[in-house]
Amino acid sequence: MKNGKVYLVGAGPGDPDLISVKGINCLKKADVVFYDRLLNERLLNAAPAEAERIDVGKVAGKHTKPQDEINRLLAVKAREGKTVVRLKGGDPFVLGRGGEEGEFLKQNSILFEVIPGITSAIAVPAYAGIPVTHRGVSSSFAVITGHEDPSKATSSINWEKLATGVDTLIFLMGMGNLEEIVARLVEQGRPVTTPAAVIQDGTRPEQVTVSSSLENIVSRAQERHLVSPAIIVIGEVAGLRDRLSWFENRPLFGKRILVTRAAHQASALSQLLSEGGAQTTELPAIEIRPVDDPKELDRAILNLKEYHWIIFTSANSVAAFWQRLGELKQDSRALTGLKIGAVGPATAKSLEPRGIIADFVPKVYSSQGIVEGLEKLDIDGQRFLLPRVDIADQALMEGIERLGASADEVPVYRTVPATEAMTRAKELLLVGEIDAITFTSSSTVSNLVAAFGEHPVLTDGTKVACIGPKTAETAVKAGLKVDIMASEQTIPSLVTALEDFFTKTEERRL
């Protein structure tokens, strides 16, 4: 059997978006992934579902597998003809023992390739607003292991030259030795007034940065109870943080937001929230499933020529309608001659890949907005098809009929509670670990509230954000106080409303 190949891939410092395109492409074709601790789950999910995943993470004083065993397993899997990815935090060759793994593979005639990653030594300070070099301030930097015991007589670090010979000093894995590191540098001539910073969980939503002088950095880090993983930066550049801080200044930074949406839709909302600085937890309150009996839908599809209009009220209805269309061996040509309406831009956009450009999108993205928009058109005597969720209210159909048209409301999908996700949601909400909860439909509200039974859904401090008035009305009826509502019924508008709310809250606090 021909040997496979091993890719030593740098995953970057923590933010999953910082991995290289080549690194992601390697993961997509992996048969086996050996991964470090603290890696974002999104990176592991990039590998095929059937790929074997092996945890080889290391914590101070405890290794899942010793390095010799990791080396051996890499070779074993490659000899089975598999494509192996060794996914390492940061860069494989920066204090990552990737060199040792490469040497072992070379000695055993295993083909390997190194995919560099962004090292935490540079990325984490950058996310804290600290450039490792800066004109007129620092023209050199050194990356040093902080894991070595500085008090031992045979230290491999040349403290005398390091202390004053390099402008910026960056220590990795040094949190447990911070006091010793500071003492060594001061002893060898580094001024106690030198700016310093400690950055915990760098590039992650929970990042914490403490800045001070070299003299006081230990006590400041202790006051904030900082622990590993953390990066230590010592040098004049650490004093630039006040001018260059950006990551921790984003409007939703540090906010923990629960995303209750259908599983296949949650990632888009989570991505926008993450870009605003939030730490998101995707716990879909509903799952989207086909209707139990599609006879009514089939009848409508097979008689589309009897209609003048089709109005889609969600991207879910578009997806479910086209799925059934395909199952009946039909395609977009079946809609020839019909006018197509969409409740909003997101629904209209979901039609475009199917070759359909919406003829009508209301200015207000709601059932009422659709009726108000149609009122300006001549629809008297026309017939409408409304493919919708099985629990939709009658407001849209009744509004169309008031305008002199007729409407057939046909269920195309149904929503059911996501039971396992609900259990996790209850745990987080009941202990007060959520700052805000998002609702993007009435069904997400109803299913979450039903899962709690007689227990209150929210604890003090948890805010409720709704995508529109209909969802907000359902939340209020369920006994929830709505704190935030989108100005338009779109995901971007919901995120903007959350950002505005928490920005104003912070301003009032200050």
What digits encode the pLDDT tens for the residues 213-244?
Answer: 999 999 999 999 999 999 999 999 999 999 99
For residue 125, report the phi and psi dihedrals to the nearest 5 degrees: -60, -40
Average pLDDT, the chain: 90
* More confident: 169 or 60: 169
CB 163 within 8 A of CB 203: no
**Separation of alpha carbons 95 and 54, rounded Å:** 21
Examine the pLDDT at 275 and tell me if it is beyond 80: yes
Q: What is the rounded average pLDDT of the residues 499-503?
A: 94
pLDDT above 70 for 149: no
The CATH number of 256-285+418-509, from 3.40.50.10090, 3.30.420.40, 3.40.630.10, 3.40.30.10, is: 3.40.50.10090
Please tell me if the domain spanning 256-285+418-509 has the same topology as the one spanning 289-415: yes
pLDDT score for 466: 95
Selected residue with higher pLDDT from 451 and 121: 121
> Exposed e or buried b for every residue in 29-60, given b needs 16+ CB within 10 A?
ebbbbbbbeebbeebbebbeeebeebebeeee
What number does CATH give the domain 122-249? Answer: 3.30.950.10
Hey, what are 231's tokens? Answer: 């990066």
Beta strand 62-63 pairing with 5-10? unpaired
- In angstroms and rounded to an integer, the radius of gyration of the C-alpha atoms of the chain is 28
Tell me what pLDDT residue 232 has: 98
Per residue in 52-80, pLDDT tens? 999 998 765 555 789 999 999 999 999 99
Domain 289-415 has CATH 3.40.50.10090: yes
What are the φ/ψ torsions at residue 249 (nearest 5 degrees)?
-100, 0
User: Could you state, in order of their start, the residue ranges of all structural domains in the chain?
Assistant: 5-118, 122-249, 256-285+418-509, 289-415
Confidence (pLDDT) at 265:
61
Of 14-23, 278-287, 487-496, where does mean pLDDT reach its minimum?
Answer: 278-287
**Tell me, which fold does domain 5-118 have in CATH?**
Cobalt-precorrin-4 Transmethylase; domain 1 (3.40.1010)
Q: Which helix (H) or strand (E) holds 504?
A: helix 491-509
Tokens 């589309």 found at? 304
- Residue 403 is predicted with a pLDDT of 95
CA–CA distance from 65 to each of 43, 59, 179, 210 (Å)? 21, 11, 30, 33
Indicate if the pLDDT at residue 489 is higher than 70.
yes
pLDDT, one tens digit per residue, over 103-136 is 999 999 999 999 999 999 999 999 999 999 999 9
Please state the rounded mean pLDDT for residues 443-460: 74
Q: Which residues are catalytic?
A: 36, 58, 173
**Beta carbons within 8 Å of 65's beta carbon, 6+ residues apart:** 56, 73
